[in-house]
Amino acid sequence: MADFILPQNTSPTRQASRRLDGPIHAERHVNIVCVGAGASGLLLAYKLQRHFKNYSLTVFEKNPAVSGTWYENKYPGCACDVPSHNYTWSFEPKLDWSGVYASSREIYKYFDDFARKYRLFDYVKTSHQVTGAYWDDATQGYDITVNDLTTGQEIRTHCDILINAGGVLNNWRWPAIPGLDKYKGTLLHTANWDDSVNLEGKHVGLIGNGSSGIQVLPKIQPIVKQVTTFIREPTWVSPVQGLEQHVYSDEEKRDFATKAGQLTEYRKGIERGLNGQFGIFLKNSKPNNDTHDYMIEQMKEKLQDSFLEDKLIPKWHVGCRRLTPGVGYLESLGKENVSVIYGEINEVTEKGCLCDDGKEYPVDVLICATGFDTTFKPRFPLIGPDKRNLQDVWKDEARSYLGLAAPGFPNYLIFLGPNCPIGNGPVLSAIEAQADHMLKLIDRYQTHNIASFTPRQEAVDDFISHKDDFMTRSVWADPCRSWYKNRPDGPITALWPGSTLHYIEAMNELRMEDWEVKYSGNRFAWLGNGYSQTELDDTADWAYYIREVDDDEPATRGGKRRKLTKSGTVRATAGVNFTGRSSEEAEKPLRSNI
């Protein structure tokens, strides 16, 4: 028998009054708008569809396709440096990844296939860009404006809950160098790549040595006439070791598909390895110290050049900036057709870059591997009840509630918001934990007569203060320039104060004491007409609690965790890890790919 649900399209107040007609916990209709159909937006659609009734969902996506960053980033060499079998949802393995590290195209297809398999396109409106969200007190929801990029028309809609899954590494940006608009050659940005540009035989300029620049150089160096790469900060480039690139044979793929448990064990082994690396990010820890010594040795061996060693090996701790395994990057720097210009670019001229050594470096094509706007401001005005715009509130420092909400902005949730574990460990697992946390909130909203929920300011202040204290112990606080913070000595806004497993456990339960909740009418209206849902379901066992043995779930957090993690079943030092070494060895120097 169907559960009793409250009718759609009635105001929260009217829905509250209707609660006396229904049993306890009757579900009110909830109308959700999600911004973005990248990995997070698609996961939200999947989970809502799987778990919820009496809801509507529209996912607005500005691109003509889903998959977000993996649709947009197509530059030569673009790939994910997390092993492919662990760049999947925990519940949705892919049996036929081509190799250990997958190209952006293959990852794009994984998420596109995921959307097709579960009919998630039913919720997605592609080529629709959200341009504004305005809180409306009367309806306790947001009025949303959307630009239909195909017709150019503005659409207006409304939602009870707004979820921003717009991504953190999405708003790519040109470097702030004067004269960029004067350049007469071909200008490219790695995150907005133009496939039609032929680099063969050209003299190419490459700005930046972040993860994107490190991936591009070895791919273009063999085909172009010359590369001049402009670098202004040293960076740790980690060697590839352990699980190196390897193309899976047909036999391996067949085994993954047919041998029970084989792929799961393989994925678990890699994930344990990824989760075991957190210590590297703590200052003066053994893993960090050992990795430091090991990397210096590796970088010197590959560079074989005292000028480059001096300029490229950082003084700050390993991991302050995101580490990228540099497959062939350092070796490329020493090739005959590559020159490294170290320092600031003062100006871009019609021909190329004018640097602080006073010289002009002309190039035919200028590639900016210069990253993204990572201020965490929404990309559209988000106006709260007191008419403040979150874009202004987070102009200098984004202060969130556990990476998923903003004080003063009710019924607004964010995937991978400020201080999420985006560089702390496996990221898709963190997105899943966030989605599950959001579902708990939405469930409560639906069944508890809630009109609005907003994180309390004092809860956010306490969280930020704890986070800042923790960060002093982390390598991220060193004075490097990194998108993890707005300035080298600024607060760290992009990372979680702990490991990914730590975040997953923190996300595990709702802390309603941190939320300011407004009800539609009486806070106990959800008690309804005195009947339980069970009594209205004549296919349910009305005496479900009578049993033969005490088979209760553990009552405490510790007990639940031990059961969930199968504590006592895995020997700590026997974990297979992705470096191919024992976990004990894995405490020693290693690369990081998170």
Please give the DSSP secondary-structure letter assigned to residue 405.
Answer: B
Residue number closest to ligand NAP, CB atom: 210
CA distances from 474 to 70, 248, 318, 491 (A): 30, 37, 11, 12
Yes or no: say if 462 and 538 are a contact pair by the CB < 8 Å rule: no
Closest distance of CB 490 from ligand NAP, Å: 13
Query: Please, which residues have CB within 8 angstroms of residue 259's CB and are 6 or more apart in sequence?
Result: none
Yes or no: say if 208 and 340 are a contact pair by the CB < 8 Å rule: no
CA distances from 166 to 36, 66, 159, 593 (A): 5, 12, 17, 23
Between 365 and 442, CB nearer to ligand NAP? 365
What's the rounded Cα separation, in Å, for the pair 377 and 396? 9
Of 33, 35, 80, 312, the one binding ligand NAP (CB under 6 A) is 80
320 binds ligand NAP (CB under 6 A): no
Q: What are phi and psi of 517, to 5 degrees?
A: -115, 135
Between 3 and 233, CB nearer to ligand NAP? 233
Closest distance of CB 399 from ligand NAP, Å: 22
Between 84 and 454, CB nearer to ligand NAP? 84
What's the rounded Cα separation, in Å, for the pair 403 and 394? 13
Closest distance of CB 75 from ligand NAP, Å: 9
371 binds ligand NAP (CB under 6 A): yes
206 binds ligand NAP (CB under 6 A): no
What's the rounded Cα separation, in Å, for the pair 349 and 46? 49
Buried b / exposed e over 178-204, threshold 16 CB at 10 Å, is eebeebebbbbbbbebeeeeebeebbb
594 binds ligand NAP (CB under 6 A): no
Closest distance of CB 403 from ligand NAP, Å: 16
Of 164, 170, 212, 419, the one binding ligand NAP (CB under 6 A) is 212
Closest distance of CB 414 from ligand NAP, Å: 18
Of 211, 499, 500, 577, the one binding ligand NAP (CB under 6 A) is 211
Query: Please, which residues have CB within 8 angstroms of residue 298's CB and are 6 or more apart in sequence?
Result: 238, 239
Yes or no: say if 426 and 503 are a contact pair by the CB < 8 Å rule: no
The stretch near ligand NAP (CB under 6 A) out of 79-87, 137-145, 149-157, 238-246 is 79-87
Between 350 and 356, CB nearer to ligand NAP? 356
Consecutive H or E run containing 383: strand 382-383
Between 317 and 444, CB nearer to ligand NAP? 317
Between 49 and 63, CB nearer to ligand NAP? 63
User: What are the residue ranges of helices labelled H in 448-509?
Assistant: 457-471, 500-507
What does the per-residue mask of binding to ligand NAP show for 221-250, with x meaning CB under 6 A?
Answer: ---------x-xx-----------------
What's the rounded Cα separation, in Å, for the pair 368 and 213? 8
Closest distance of CB 383 from ligand NAP, Å: 30
Closest distance of CB 423 from ligand NAP, Å: 6
176 binds ligand NAP (CB under 6 A): yes
Q: Find the largest Cα–Cα distance for the chain.
A: 85
207 binds ligand NAP (CB under 6 A): yes
Of 481, 523, 560, 588, the one binding ligand NAP (CB under 6 A) is 481
Q: Which two tokens mark 287?
A: 């893993």
SS3 state of residue 285: coil
* Site residue total, ligand NAP (CB under 6 A): 26
Between 175 and 385, CB nearer to ligand NAP? 175
Yes or no: say if 291 and 587 are a contact pair by the CB < 8 Å rule: no
Of 34, 48, 169, 280, the one binding ligand NAP (CB under 6 A) is 169
167 binds ligand NAP (CB under 6 A): no
What's the rounded Cα separation, in Å, for the pair 306 and 304? 7
Residues lying near ligand NAP in the complex (CB under 6 A) are found at: 79-81, 169, 175-177, 190, 207-213, 215, 230, 232-233, 322, 345, 369-371, 481, 483
